[in-house]
Amino acid sequence: MFFYKRFFYNGVQFEDVILESIGQYTGLKDVNGMEIYEGDIITDSRKRLFKVEWNDWGWFNRPITNETSYPFFNNGIMKYMEIIGNIYENPELL
């Protein structure tokens, strides 16, 4: 279990963090300006669902319906994607 600290005037408050739910920031934002993290589930204008993943070649959008992945940085499409959940809090989207 990991913890992060919040300092208040009255001391320190600790909160539980589930290690598996920690995702790395991709450096990109979606159409609404939200930061895109590893494990996010995103959708495009055609309502296709993708899972954000990291592999040896970089960040990828893995379509949930098949095994073909698309690199993030190939044509600037990420600015048109929208985050609709993540694999930890919304497994029903998978």
Can you give the pTM of this predicted structure? 0.73
Number of helical H runs and strand E runs in the chain:
0, 9
Q: What's the pLDDT score for residue 32? A: 95
How confident is the model over 48-71, as pLDDT tens digits?
Answer: 899 999 888 888 888 888 767 777
| CATH class assigned to 23-93 | mainly beta
Domain boundaries, given as residue ranges, for the chain: 23-93
29-41: pLDDT as tens digits: 899 999 999 999 9
Residue 84 makes CB contacts below 8 A (sequence gap 6+) with 41, 42, 43, 49, 90, 93
